[in-house]
Amino acid sequence: MKIEVLTLFPNMFDGVMSESMMWKARDRGLLDFSARDIRDYSGDKHRKVDDSPYGGGGGMILKADVLLRAIEALEPEADTPVILLSPQGRLLTHEAAAELSRRERLILVCGHYEGVDERVRELAISDEISIGDYVLTGGELAAMVLIDAVVRLIPGVLGAEGAQQRDSHADGLLEGPHYTRPPEVRGLTVPEVLTSGHHAEVERWRRQQALKRTWLRRPELLERAELSEADREYLAQLAAGAAD
């Protein structure tokens, strides 16, 4: 996958894109990443990229011509998603990340100041995504969150093939608890089923823990999750106070 970011702060990506899983993905040739400076397209000897809003009100707006030149310089194909990170976008979910992870190329546009000239949206943005209902000073951190969520779903990026299938949200549920050695930590032990060696029992227990945690913390997720008859029975028991 090729990911190209347009930003006023390309150096913000250096650390995140050079460590851990991101670096592995690049090292393995699974990710080609670049961050380009929008300021290079100002076409102005003062490298000006913003201006005050028509109608007043203060704050600064990223200029349309500058951003359009920056996007056009990347020569997006007709089907290349050109994504603006913004609090007004559709929410980033597992499904959105999974869909983007199947693309060959993504262009991410990071705004700053109070916003970008609306004509950029009309002419050059194909998708607008938000990482949550809050405002950031720029789109860079949102872009890095999106990149991380997308890249870890590219086949071959994470070592253990398919470990992502059990992630929270991958099947519409939150994951249950995990344990590793030692067997006792400050008097707290490990659920016996996990050391029983009984694989089917472990899977059943994990499923129930995921259902329970989702029911307690994010009950609205259960409305959209794919549930078996056994799942529904367990949830009914939970609701009746007849299971733990």
Point out the catalytic residue in the list 40, 69, 87, 121. Answer: 87
Query: Are the C-beta atoms of residues 127 and 73 closer than 8 Å to each other?
Result: no
Point out the catalytic residue in the list 152, 204, 206, 207. Answer: 152
Could you tell me how many residues of this chain bind ligand 4GN (CB under 6 A)?
A: 16
Q: At what angle do helices 140-151 and 20-27 cross, to 10 degrees?
A: 60
Query: Are the C-beta atoms of residues 130 and 87 closer than 8 Å to each other?
Result: yes
Contact positions with ligand 4GN (CB under 6 A) in 55-94? 85-87
- Contact call for residue 97 and ligand 4GN (CB under 6 A): no
How far is Cα 139 from Cα 84, in angstroms, rounded to an integer? 8
Kindly state the tokens that stand for 181: 């050695």
Residue from the set 131, 151, 154, 210 that interacts with ligand 4GN by CB under 6 A: 131
**Least gap, CB of 35 to ligand 4GN (angstroms):** 16
Question: Helix (H, G, I), strand (E, B), or coil: what is residue 112?
Answer: coil
Q: Which of 60/202 has CB closer to ligand 4GN?
A: 60
Q: What angle do CA 2, 30, 104 make, to 5 degrees?
A: 35
- Contact call for residue 219 and ligand 4GN (CB under 6 A): no
Q: In the bound complex, which residue of the shown chain has the CB atom lying closest to ligand 4GN?
A: 111
Kindly state the tokens that stand for 206: 């994990």
How far is Cα 231 from Cα 130, in angstroms, rounded to an integer? 32
Residue from the set 5, 16, 107, 136 that interacts with ligand 4GN by CB under 6 A: 136
Query: Are the C-beta atoms of residues 82 and 27 closer than 8 Å to each other?
Result: no
Active-site residue 87, yes or no? yes
Active-site residue 177, yes or no? no
Stretches 21-29, 63-71, 127-135, 235-243: which one binds ligand 4GN (CB under 6 A)?
127-135
Q: At what angle do helices 199-217 and 229-239 cross, to 10 degrees?
A: 50
Active-site residue 76, yes or no? no
**Least gap, CB of 38 to ligand 4GN (angstroms):** 12
**Least gap, CB of 65 to ligand 4GN (angstroms):** 17
How far is Cα 115 from Cα 125, in angstroms, rounded to an integer? 14
Kindly state the tokens that stand for 15: 């650390």
Active-site residue 114, yes or no? yes
Q: Which residues sit at the interface with ligand 4GN, rule CB under 6 A?
A: 85-87, 111-112, 115-116, 130-132, 134-136, 138-139, 142
Which residues are catalytically annotated? Answer: 87, 114, 152, 167
